[in-house]
Structure 1
């Protein structure tokens, strides 16, 4: 818990002015702006604030290297040579740059996420959740998205092609824009590029936060279903949702997951030997592979059996009871073969 209230997060009624540098832009200051947008003025126009330099909400935003503008801004990030969050300064380019506990240097995005991330998450989560869930979402985004940006921006490790950093870089105009179109048009295209990058980053952040929220919700339901299971090798879910992450993170001995599909069918899916791997802890019976309809029903003894994939990792039935019976019989057949 910080010992100070980050600028703009108190009960101030005045407008907050935020500034980052002009010129070439990267993913860290782009995400930094997006974080401030969702933390301080989520109902404002993210693009118009960049393109027009004006705002009808409580956040104004500028891109400049002008010392007077830097001095006048309430929040300055990725420029200015100062890290002092009590004064709204979030640069990280100094000799004694701010570091994470493990020694990883912060980027501007990381510094702003530390102070404003939870406020942004709270404004983006559209369902009622408690502070512990907000903190868990913040931590997940920090680990999966912000730390890699810190590493990339500080030259510790590249995010790689098709990463968020690469998407932001692709929004920058080519090096010869001024040569071909003149300095004024080059400046206009650079500003437009930052607006496009911020829009892409904002969409990614919004979607990622919502997926993390749903993932935490799924964890509670998976663990509850496992606790209620008669046979801990079969996880019966009343709603389709991601289960593999929870199974491996909690070292659950689940072999098959039984859950409904959107079309009213119920599937049996085999758990892989390792998270994200191909293969199965126990494959579905070989005699079922590639069968469907009446042929499969005859082979497995379940009247409403629908299909069994040739790769033996998934099968299905028309009912909950039918799918559950298929999972139980698959385990019985495996046990018999091992004997």
Structure 2
């Protein structure tokens, strides 16, 4: 006699779909409980009532009965410490995110590192899904217009959410044995699953990168930050020790460390080796005003920009020059000593 039990059924709405429920379904299926779950897409209350967990439909937010809708008039739930109203993606993450981090990374649920990634993934990835689905912009467009700001180009709202929307109109990959199109609902479900796989891959890449690169770099960057006055009395130059596999993600950690130490905006340049090999060239990178900005706190000197090799060495007065980008955000030298001398000159220029 078989002792197998039927896998729980996930429910969501049919019709036009959005990024938040596409991600919510993917997130649930990362959990062992729902890895083999089937999906029903409908707005029929009776059918939804037969589902074990329902996202983005049903007008109920109740974790106790696994109902995760956010369209109710009275709904105003936000992630702890944030103001953005949750979507179905944020709801699933809020209640199941720690378990998902543990499953994907192997970190013990309840550990400090698991908690840190749980918070980080919301801040850097999932909150954007919540904001988009609830019509919340990064900036108030009315205030931008009143301040006289104009777009330099039209991005057509390009985002993961806009890419997901394309799947609503994409050709179906599904055909019957004789080549005829399946039912319209079957085609729609097929497009939804493709969209869910797409956002899921982006999520998986984000979490994996944070777990394998960002998280291990925390202590390294903290140590470099504490040693920065060794290279510049004003603490304006951060040197990342050469790593066997090249560089380490430093930007996010640097902004956090500055804020925690009350010296925001202090570090102007970061030095790091191009690779982990002996004799590696070194890079000097101007620190951006913020993590999502192309504006630098202080770009490399104007006279160096767009100049290479011997000409750069002559203009900068530092031997071993390799290049400085035309925008002044990054440059290179053949040695660490040369890169450090360039940085020291740059901070005083």
Q: 2:72 aligns with which of 90, 94, 101?
A: 94
- Alpha-carbon separation, structure 1, partners of 2:225 and 2:138: 39
Stretches of structure 2 that go unaligned for 5 or more consecutive residues are 140-155, 171-179, 259-263
Aligned to 2:165: 169
Aligned to 1:210: 208
Q: 1:113 to 1:166 in 2, by over 3 A?
A: same
Q: 1:281 to 1:162 in 2, by over 3 A?
A: closer
Q: 1:308 to 1:169 in 2, by over 3 A?
A: closer
Query: How far 1:156 sits from its partner (Å)?
Result: 4.8
> Within the alignment, does 1:37 sit opposite 2:47 as a pair?
no
Of 251-260 and 276-285, the range deviating more from structure 2: 276-285
- Alpha-carbon separation, structure 1, partners of 2:50 and 2:289: 58
- Alpha-carbon separation, structure 2, partners of 1:68 and 1:165: 30
Q: Contact between 1:148 and 1:157, CA under 8 Å: does it hold in 2?
A: no
> Within the alignment, does 1:24 sit opposite 2:23 as a pair?
no
The correspondence of residues 257-276 of structure 1 with structure 2, limited to 5 A, is 257-262=270-275, 264-273=280-289, 276=292
Q: 1:326 to 1:127 in 2, by over 3 A?
A: farther
> Within the alignment, does 1:233 sit opposite 2:236 as a pair?
yes
Secondary structure of 1:200 counterpart: helix
Aligned to 1:245: 252
Q: Give aligned pairs, total.
A: 303
TM-score, scaled to structure 1: 0.74
- Alpha-carbon separation, structure 2, partners of 1:192 and 1:292: 52
Q: Contact between 2:23 and 2:196, CA under 8 Å: does it hold in 1?
A: yes
Q: Contact between 1:83 and 1:98, CA under 8 Å: does it hold in 2?
A: no
Q: 1:168 to 1:267 in 2, by over 3 A?
A: same
Q: 1:209 to 1:190 in 2, by over 3 A?
A: same
The correspondence of residues 91-170 of structure 1 with structure 2, limited to 5 A, is 91-97=69-75, 99-100=77-78, 104-125=84-105, 131-157=111-137, 161-170=157-166
- Alpha-carbon separation, structure 2, partners of 1:279 and 1:65: 47
1:271-301 residue CA offsets vs partner (Å, 9 max, x unmatched): 3455555564444445544443333334445
Aligned to 2:152: none
TM-score, scaled to structure 2: 0.73
Q: How large is the Cα RMSD of the aligned pairs?
A: 3.5
Higher relative contact order (CA 8 A, sep 6+): 1
> Within the alignment, does 1:255 sit opposite 2:268 as a pair?
yes
Stretches of structure 1 that go unaligned for 5 or more consecutive residues are 1-11, 45-56, 175-181, 335-339
Q: Contact between 2:108 and 2:114, CA under 8 Å: does it hold in 1?
A: no
Q: 1:64 to 1:305 in 2, by over 3 A?
A: same
Query: How far 1:163 sits from its partner (Å)?
Result: 2.0
